[in-house]
Amino acid sequence: MEEAQYYAIIGRGEAPSDPSGLARRIKDGDQTIDQSLRRDLSWGPTTAITTWDYGEDLTQDLRKISKQEAGDLIERFQEKWSREG
Amino acid sequence: MTISDEPRSAGAVRLHQVAAGLTAVGLVTHLHRTRAGTDLTATLHLPGHHDIEVIADEDGYTELRYWCSLNSTPATHVATIARLLKALTTSQSLANRARQASERVAGYDGAVTERAEGVGMTGPHDHLAEQGRIPDQARPREADNPHDSQVRPDDLQARLERLPPNHPSSPYRDDGSRKPPPPDLTKCELPLPDESSDSPSGPDLPADDEAQTHPDGSWEWKEAKLSLERSLIADQAIGRCHETEGRDVNGNYGDRGLTPAMRRIEVQLEHGHLVEDTEKFALKDPDRFKEKFAKLIADRPGRDPSELVQQINDGVRYTFIYEDAEYSSGVMEVSGAIAAAGYELYERKNAWVDETKVYQGVNSTWREDSHGVLFEVQVHTPESWQAKQESHTFYEVGQSLTSTPEQRADAARRQKEIFAEVSIPPNIRDILSYRKEGW
C-alpha cells in the first residue's frame, strides 16, 4: 500500500507560511522514493529529505504537512508560476 | 601608439587605422615595419589581471591572447571562449570546428591536440582559397628571408615564423638565431588545493562519475544539471568564495582572507584548534558547489536562482576541534573569537540535542561583509569528527540522485550506527541554537 509524507521546503529568510518548494517521501513496502515538485508540476528525484534527516545542512528546513496542505500548496505554486510565466 | 614609418601598402594603411582604433579604446598599441610588412601589437593593461594582447598583420591575421583565471571553472573558461568565437564567427565551418573541439573539453585525454593540429586556425591564405582567389601577390616575401623557405604559408607556425625578430611571439631572437622551443607547461602543472581526491572531475574516476561541461556551456553531474546561464551564476559565486577565502592564484596566503583570519583566531584559543588540512578543505569543490546549487533550483522552483546561490553557506568552511571536557565552553569561545574578528553570526545549530537527527556537532553560518559571502564553521569533538569522516562515504550515497532507494536506506542505517557510538560531551545543552532575525 503506497503512502506519502509531504514536506514544505522553507529556505532561509522565508516565512514558514510561504515555502518555496514541496517534497514527498513515498513508501511502498520496503521501497522509499523521495521526490520534489518541479516548476512544470512534475515530480523529480530529490535528496532534500535525506539531507534534512541527516541534520548537518543549514541551507533550508523541511516541515511535515498533510496531503491536504500539500494540495493547497501545489495550487498556490501553479497559480504563482503560471503568472510569472 | 608608436608608428615606425608611413604605411606603404593598402594593408598597412588599414593596419594603421586598426591601431588608431585600438588606441582609442584604451590599448597601448605599437606598429612594426619589417621587410615582410607591418605588424601590430596592442596590450590592454588591467590592474590586478594579466595583460590582454592583440597581434595583427597586414593580411588580417590576428591573435587575441589572454590568461584564464585559475579561479574560474572549466565551464567559465569554455563559455568565455564560446562567446569570443560567437563574436568572431561568420563562417559556419569555424563554428562547427569549435563545437567539435569543445565536445572534448570535459573528457580531455590528449586527443584534442591531435584534432587541433588538423583544424588549425584559418589564415588569410585559407580564406582566399575558400573564395577561389589566388593568394595575394602584392606583398611577396623577401627571397633572402630564411624563415619563409622553411614552412608552409598556410600553417599557424608559418605566421609565427614570419613575425619580426623583436616580436614577442617570434621564434627568433633579435640576432636571427632560433629561440629554444617553449617548455611543455603541462609538465609543470600542480594540482589545485581544492582538487582533493573526492573531486568529481578527478582523472581517476570513471567517465559516468565525472562532471560534464557540454558544448553549449551547460553543466551536468549525474542527475544534477545547470544551464549555461545558471552555471555562470555558480561560477561567479565560486569566484567570490575563492576571493573571500584568501589564497592567491598560486595557492599562497597573505594577511587577507578568511583562512588567515581563522588561523589567527586559532592562535587565540585556549584549547581548540583547526582540523588538519584546513587549507585543503576550506573551499568546496566547484562541482560539488554546482551540484548543491542545481539541487536547490530543482527543489525550490519558487525562488530566483541568483538568490538561491547566495544561500549556500559552505562554499568556504572551517572545522574546529575541542576535547569533550572543553567542548561546550569551546563552542562559545570560538564563536566569540569569530565575532570579535568582525564576522556576523547568522545561525548556530546544536545538532547534539536534536534526537531526530543523525549528525552530531555544532554548525554555524557566518557572513563576511566585504564580499557578502556566507561561510560555515563546524565545531566537533575528536569522536564526532572521526564519525563524520568514517560515515562520509555513506553520506555521499545518500546525497547522490542516482543512488537507489535500497542504497540510500542502507547508507542512512550505517550513518546512524557510526554516530550512535559517539560520546556526548558534558553540558551540551548549554550551547544554544541561534538564528538571526529574518534569516
Question: pLDDT tens digits for chain B (439 residues)?
Answer: 544 455 667 788 777 778 877 776 677 888 887 777 888 888 887 666 778 888 988 888 888 888 877 767 666 677 677 667 756 654 444 444 444 444 443 333 333 333 333 333 333 333 333 333 333 333 333 333 434 334 344 455 555 566 555 555 555 655 666 655 543 333 333 333 333 444 454 444 445 578 999 999 999 998 999 999 999 999 999 999 999 999 998 999 999 999 999 999 999 999 999 999 999 999 999 999 999 999 999 999 989 999 999 999 999 999 999 999 999 999 999 999 999 999 999 999 999 999 999 999 999 999 999 999 999 999 999 999 999 999 999 999 999 999 999 999 999 999 999 999 999 999 999 999 999 999 9
Q: Look at strands A2-11 and B362-368 and give their pairing.
A: unpaired
Q: H-helix or E-strand containing B65?
A: strand B62-65
pTM over the 0.90 mark = no
Neighbouring CB atoms inside 10 A of B166's CB total 13
Q: Is the dihedral of CA B366, B369, B374, B377 positive or negative?
A: negative
Cβ-defined contact of A54 to B296 (cutoff 8 Å): no
Interchain CB distance below 8 Å, A47 and B295: yes
Write out the residues of chain B at the interface with chain A, using a CB-CB cutoff of 8 A.
223, 292, 295-296, 298-303, 308, 311-313, 346-347, 349, 351, 354, 356-359, 361, 363-365, 376, 395, 398-401, 405-406, 408-409, 412, 415, 438-439
Residue from the list A23, A54, A81 with its beta carbon closest to the beta carbon of B299: A23
Q: Return the C-alpha cell found at B208.
A: 559516468
Q: What cell numbers appear for B420 in the block?
A: 550512535
If phi > 0 it is left, if psi is from -120 to 50 it is alpha, else beta; for residue B277 that is: left
What is d(CA B26, CA B20) in angstroms, rounded to the nearest whole number? 10
- Which residue from B55, B64, B33 is spatially nearest to B139, judged by alpha carbons? B33
Instruction: Give the C-alpha distances (Å, rounded to integers) separating B277 from B106, B248, B251, B381, B435.
Output: 28, 17, 14, 17, 29
Domain boundaries, chain A: 2-84
**Cα–Cα distance between B97 and B122 in angstroms, integer?**
11
- Please give the full DSSP string across A13-36, using - where no structure is assigned: T--TTS-SEEEEEEEETTEEEEEE
Tell me if B236 sits within 8 A of B305, measured CB to CB.
Answer: no
Q: Residue B425 CB: number of other CB atoms within 10 A?
A: 22
Cα atoms in the 13 Å half-sphere on the side-chain side of B108: 11
8 Å CB contact of A51 and B415: no
- SS3 category, B17: helix
The CA distance from B60 to B33, in Å, is 15
